[in-house]
Structure 1
Amino acid sequence: MILVKTVTGQQAFKDRSIRLTPRQRSAFILFDGKRSVNEVLQAGMGVAPEDIDQMIELGLLGRVGADADAANAASVAIPLLPASEVLSAPAVPPAPIQGRSNQERYKEAYPIAIQLTGGLGLRGFRLNLSVEGTTSYEELLALAPKIRAAVGAERAVALDRALGT
């Protein structure tokens, strides 16, 4: 089974409104919609199946795929694109939308940044933690060069567009 962070899960992780153990927090980061539950369990984080079950019950994680029920599918935070679509993104981003507040830019850019850094696997673990720790447009904008360097300029086009850079 493949799980992904829900909107509720991302918010709870960010504001720490739901208490998670350090092992659960580490495992939570690994659920990117690509790794199976078994892969996360074998990643050496020390997380038990009961920990994952608890995160599902709390609504922090949801299933991804054809067998997801409608309520669960609606809670999935980030629509994950196949790698072929991500890599085929246009090299030149469309002009940034003018008139958006920094908060609106942050809300648009944050899920993109999470998807990009989550796709890096363990080599992007710390960068993913840094992104998840941001609370403002300015903080995310400061991390953008590191994200761009890690994923490549072509894959960072959507992030640049969302940030308005």
Structure 2
Amino acid sequence: MYFVKTPAGQQAFKERHADLSPRLRSAFLLFDGNRSLAQVLEAISALGVGKDDILPLVTRGWLATREAGGEELQQPCAAPEDGSEVDPASTSRRYQQAYPMAVAITGGLGLKGFRLNLAVEAAVGYEQLAALAPRIRDAAGERAYGPLHKALFGAEAL
């Protein structure tokens, strides 16, 4: 089953509605009509969000179903900081895995990382998230950034 954000859902997100907790916000952003519910749940499994958490968003009218026959959008492929190539087929998977991590890291920075957190939440695809990686590393430090780097670029060393 594929879901898309409704205008009411986008408004609730924009207003930071109380029923849209930070972990649900991360999940909500991934519903673009191109990812199935199973794919989104897999991407955010580390956040502890399950199907039972998503269904109330549908009930409220913040998410609506989409027919599964649509074309998938291809995200442009960005090269990681070390100059190595990233397989275009893996960019979607990498983005889905790295996005919740980036939101958690920048959200944990408090006011210091507020604007960076907004930029991460606005990142629509792999390329945009990869472009924010150096800023996240500078703000959060090497230790906090390491797992995100691995998820984005598949590299152990920074």
Considering Cα pairs closer than 8 Å and 6+ residues apart, tell me whether 1 or 2 has the greater RCO. 1
Superposition TM-score, scaled by structure 1 size? 0.47
Superposition TM-score, scaled by structure 2 size? 0.49
